Amino acid sequence: MIPAQFEYARPASVDEVLTLLRDKEGEAKVLSGGYSLLPLMKLRLAQPGLLVDLRDVRGLDTILETDDDLRIGARATHRQVHEHSIVADRYPFIAEVAGGIGDPQVRNWGTIGGSVAHADPASDWPAAMLADGTRIVCRGLGGERVVPAREFFLGPFSTAIEPTELLVEVRFTRRARSVGGAYTKLERRAGDFATVGAATVLALTDGRIASAGIGITGVNDTPFAATEAEAALVGKAPSEEAFRAAGEAAAGMAHPVSDVRGSAVYKRAMVAEMTVRSLRRAADRALRFA
Ligand SMILES: Cc1cc2nc3c(=O)[nH]c(=O)nc-3n(C[C@H](O)[C@H](O)[C@H](O)COP(=O)(O)OP(=O)(O)OC[C@H]3O[C@@H](n4cnc5c(N)ncnc54)[C@H](O)[C@@H]3O)c2cc1C
């Protein structure tokens, strides 16, 4: 349980971080909350030669709303996101995701950027970002890239971030009040990773579903967008029948394996059920303002 030897740096600016990542390409890893990386280092599943601690880098935990999006800095903790007044007031679905991650200790230390960069197949943020169409901002010494969530999660613990880049911000879509979102998480015990998590975002126009976003976590080797379920909803009235059909379509895209969290058959059924429950709540929220 003791990590291999490593060097440690505590830069004060993003440029200094990026210079270190370039100079030690492939050897350096950034440390954000440490709630995923440090356990891996103790188990020697990760052995970075240099740990670049982000704690002194200013301005990486800002949360602000622009005309187009809600911008959350990579170093914002799950708790900061959950408790932020704009998030609580206008983005209940994002508050729901943040408030359901781990336990208070995990939420106090774990960060949104660390979670997204780590890309655990059962993590909560990716499902929400796939449903929302969130954009993820990666910065290198040469400039910034804005990567859509649907192009970002490449596989288990694998993302589109280059080793010389820092994830600096995520941008959730700023939406009209007639768009509702919800996140429904099935966990064995409070504080556990998701057995299945379903994030949904529904936009209603004239009583019909104009667009739908659905992200599922916990069952495939990486969180995925349930595109077949989304397509099944567009143009329909938000009804139980439509939600059930979408749930079945999402389950059809799930390829779970049996493990301590349940059998493959059970998990697939839960994908359908969590999708339906999430859609009901998303529709309720959208209908309140439609
Ligand atoms: C007991 C426990 C329960 C948990 N429960 C849940 C849960 O229910 N749901 C859930 O989603 N997660 C859960 N987590 C994970 C938790 O959310 C972590 O905080 C998160 O996965 C990693 O965030 P971090 O800030 O701690 O990142 P770190 O551990 O510091 O880093 C993780 C990885 O991301 C890289 N990284 C970090 N920041 C950046 C950046 N800005 N740019 C580029 N790369 C970066 C690091 O180099 C490292 O490879 C749990 C963790 C624990 C220990």
Estimate to the nearest angstrom the gap between the alpha carbon of 154 and the chain centroid: 13
The number of the ligand 1 atom at minimal distance from the alpha carbon of 30 is: 47
- What CATH number is associated with residue 26? 3.30.43.10
Q: Which of 173, 199, 229 is the last residue of a domain?
A: 173
**Residue 36's closest CA among 97, 101, 110?**
110
Question: Does 223 lie in the same domain as 146?
Answer: no
Question: Does 255 lie in the same domain as 166?
Answer: no
* Tens-place pLDDT, residues 79-116: 999 999 999 999 999 999 999 999 999 999 999 999 99
**218 DSSP 8-state letter:** S
Alpha-carbon distance values, 52 to 2, 21, 35, 80 (Å): 19, 8, 15, 22
| Measured distance CA(179)–CA(197) in Å, rounded | 20
Q: What's the confidence (pLDDT) of residue 288? A: 84
Question: Does 122 lie in the same domain as 221?
Answer: no
Q: What's the confidence (pLDDT) of residue 227? A: 98
Give the SS3 label for residue 198: strand
- What CATH number is associated with residue 102? 3.30.465.10
Question: Does 202 lie in the same domain as 141?
Answer: no
* 0.95 surpassed by pTM: yes
| Measured distance CA(202)–CA(183) in Å, rounded | 12
Pairing outcome for strands 196-205 and 28-31: unpaired
Range of the domain at 34: 7-52
- How many other C-beta atoms lie within 10 A of the C-beta of residue 218? 28
14 is a domain residue: yes
Q: In what order do the strands lie in the sheet with 208-217?
A: 179-186, 196-205, 208-217, 224-225
| Measured distance CA(3)–CA(39) in Å, rounded | 9
H or E element at residue 138: strand 135-140
116 close to ligand 1 (CB < 6 Angstrom) = no
Q: What's the confidence (pLDDT) of residue 290? A: 58
- What CATH number is associated with residue 210? 3.30.390.50
3-state helix, strand, coil in the chain (%, to 5): 35, 25, 35
* Tens-place pLDDT, residues 162-207: 999 999 999 999 988 789 999 999 999 988 999 999 999 999 999 9
Nearest CA owner, ligand 1 atom 38: 114
Give the SS3 label for residue 48: coil
**Residue 59's closest CA among 22, 12, 91?**
12
The number of the ligand 1 atom at minimal distance from the alpha carbon of 32 is: 30
Q: Which of 173, 193, 210 is the last residue of a domain?
A: 173
Q: Which two tokens stand for residue 60?
A: 């990486």
230 is a domain residue: yes
Task: Please tell me the distance between residue 211's alpha carbon and the centre of ligand 1 in angstroms.
Answer: 31
101 is a domain residue: yes
118 close to ligand 1 (CB < 6 Angstrom) = yes
Q: Which of 173, 194, 212 is the last residue of a domain?
A: 173
Question: Does 150 lie in the same domain as 81?
Answer: yes
Question: Does 70 lie in the same domain as 23?
Answer: no
2 is a domain residue: no
Question: Does 112 lie in the same domain as 20?
Answer: no
Question: Does 204 lie in the same domain as 269?
Answer: yes
Pairing outcome for strands 143-148 and 135-140: antiparallel
* Tens-place pLDDT, residues 210-253: 999 999 999 999 999 999 999 999 999 999 999 999 999 999 99
| Measured distance CA(156)–CA(101) in Å, rounded | 19
Question: Does 153 lie in the same domain as 77?
Answer: yes
Task: Please tell me the distance between residue 156's alpha carbon and the centre of ligand 1 in angstroms.
Answer: 14
200 is a domain residue: yes
146 is a domain residue: yes
Question: Does 159 lie in the same domain as 110?
Answer: yes
57 is a domain residue: no
144 is a domain residue: yes
pLDDT(289) > 70: no
Q: What's the confidence (pLDDT) of residue 11? A: 98
Cα atoms in the 13 Å half-sphere on the side-chain side of 247: 23
In the chain, the number of structural domains is 3
Mean pLDDT of 120-136: 98
Instruction: Give me the helices (H) in 137-237, please.
Output: 149-152, 227-233
Nearest CA owner, ligand 1 atom 23: 114
Give the SS3 label for residue 225: strand
Q: Do residues 213 and 225 touch, judged by C-beta distance below 8 A? A: yes
Question: Does 194 lie in the same domain as 156?
Answer: no
Question: Does 165 lie in the same domain as 72?
Answer: yes
Assign 1 a pLDDT band (cuts: 50, 70, 90). confident
Bridge partners, 266 (sequence order): none
Give the SS3 label for residue 177: coil
| Measured distance CA(115)–CA(220) in Å, rounded | 17
* Tens-place pLDDT, residues 38-81: 999 999 999 999 999 999 999 999 999 999 999 999 999 999 99
